[in-house]
Amino acid sequence: MDDDRLASLETRVQKVEDELAILRLLHSYGPLVDSGSTVEAAALWTEGGTYEFSDGDEVARLEAPLDLEKLYSSDFHQSLIATGSAHLTGPPVMTIDGDRAQAVAYSFVVVRDGDRWLVLRAAINHWSLIRSSVGWRVERRRNRVLNGSEESRRLMRKVAD
Amino acid sequence: MDDDRLASLETRVQKVEDELAILRLLHSYGPLVDSGSTVEAAALWTEGGTYEFSDGDEVARLEAPLDLEKLYSSDFHQSLIATGSAHLTGPPVMTIDGDRAQAVAYSFVVVRDGDRWLVLRAAINHWSLIRSSVGWRVERRRNRVLNGSEESRRLMRKVAD
Amino acid sequence: MDDDRLASLETRVQKVEDELAILRLLHSYGPLVDSGSTVEAAALWTEGGTYEFSDGDEVARLEAPLDLEKLYSSDFHQSLIATGSAHLTGPPVMTIDGDRAQAVAYSFVVVRDGDRWLVLRAAINHWSLIRSSVGWRVERRRNRVLNGSEESRRLMRKVAD
């Protein structure tokens, strides 16, 4: 019976550690992209992992690592870094199921404008995560700008799954 | 002795799991209300649970679930959803005592204004939570807008309790 | 063998509890300074602990508790409190090593301006923390405004350490 209790505790503690590890992964993203740590930021994804985001009326679909490295090296992104920016990932709602996990959180791009900071972009995100040999990685991240679209609300509703 | 160690670990892990469960509850709120998931949002409270918030110079006191469902169905709230909004709950400070818990956190209502987002409301919140047969629920949430009032500062000071 | 498993679990649970205790410390900061809880805010640091932050082109270096109590009692800080402010600490990335820990997070000073709130300051922070006889305390906090400086990016990159 003690063995059952030990095994049960080990499973529960593993799950808690997984949740904290995923928090760490998600909250590393901002400081990496805002400091120009392009390779490290793209390496938060699995190879072949995707980042989909709304871009005006279109949806861009980028693949890790090369497309993401290109994104974070772009003139637009580099100008955010030079101006002073925070890619803030809000506190997520997470569900872990063995070697897979889901997370939902808001994100904000906050950029300096003279002696104030503006919210240049506010979005909702849904991440599909997978445990790899080097720890948790993003397999798919979907990001939709907060403009009242049905697609943005569909991602939000995933917190109730 | 091993039994004591096991029992102590079980209590400690339970408390950690409770803290993560409450984080999940608090951070579900935004995506639920911003996606129009009215019934699910109101169900974060116990039946009869209350949500008090400053509304101009008055304090509104709503009761779950009906008053809250009315609030989230109102024209004002529906216009926020259609415009694009984030009801962001900041990272809380939490105290758990058995089947009861307290949490304090800032909250922000961030709303689209053309191609930028504005902070329409910033507030401090104090939640009283209770463990129910279906998990943690909000028994009472107090929210005071950040306008320098003594009442808002009184809620903030609860992090030192 | 069961003893090894118990000991391993105890170490792992301690680390998780440490992480949650540090979250609590970091997220107490805002409500304490925004409510004028000057002594309690300064007591988040060890005696002799430091808070360095960029102030225009200079770097201010304050020592706890006296310099910090002076800062939070200053006319400037008191005017923020009277107007209505949130010193929001974003979700951190943390590394714990025994009785020492490091954390990196964005911070934002959000202040009321009529019926809206503005981001008066956005910064990146690096904390060095130490376990004391009364719990975790800040030994050194470095804060750099987000203005594209190399120093601000150097603090951000610490999430990859």
What are the tens digits of pLDDT across the range B32-57?
999 999 999 999 999 999 999 988 88
In the predicted model, what is the mean pLDDT of residues B69-84? 98
Classify the C-alpha dihedral C14-C20-C25-C28 as positive or negative. negative
Distance CA A120, CA A108 (A): 8
**Residue of C3, C34, C118 for testing the chain B interface, max B β-carbons within 10 Å:** C34
Q: Do B5 and C10 touch (CB under 8 A)?
A: yes
Smallest Cβ–Cβ distance between C118 and the set A37, A40, A116 belongs to: A116
Residue B7: name the closest of A6, C55, C60, C86 by CA: A6
Contact B47, B138 (CB under 8 A): no
- Which pLDDT belongs to residue C57? 84
Distance CA C98, CA C121 (A): 33
Give the global pTM: 0.98
pLDDT digits (tens, 9 = 90+) for A25-63: 999 999 999 999 999 999 999 999 999 998 888 999 999
| Residue C87 Cα distances to B7, B140, C68, angstroms | 40, 24, 15
Number of A–C residue contacts, CB under 8 Å: 101
Residue A129: name the closest of A141, A142, A116, A112 by CA: A141
Contact A145, B86 (CB under 8 A): no
Contact A10, C72 (CB under 8 A): no
Smallest CA–CA distance, residue A17 to chain C, in Å, is 7
Strands B135-145 and B45-55: parallel
- C90 and chain A in contact, CB less than 8 A: yes
C130 has a pLDDT exceeding 90: yes
pLDDT digits (tens, 9 = 90+) for A111-152: 999 999 999 999 999 999 999 999 999 999 999 999 999 999
Which residues in chain A are contacts of C146 at CB distance < 8 A? 34, 84-86, 110, 112, 117
Confidence of residue C56 (pLDDT cuts 50, 70, 90): confident
| Residue A42 Cα distances to A102, A133, A134, B36, angstroms | 19, 17, 14, 33
ipTM exceeds 0.95: yes
Chains contacting B (3 or more CB pairs within 8 Å):
A, C
Distance CA B142, CA C34 (A): 17
Q: Do C3 and B2 touch (CB under 8 A)?
A: yes
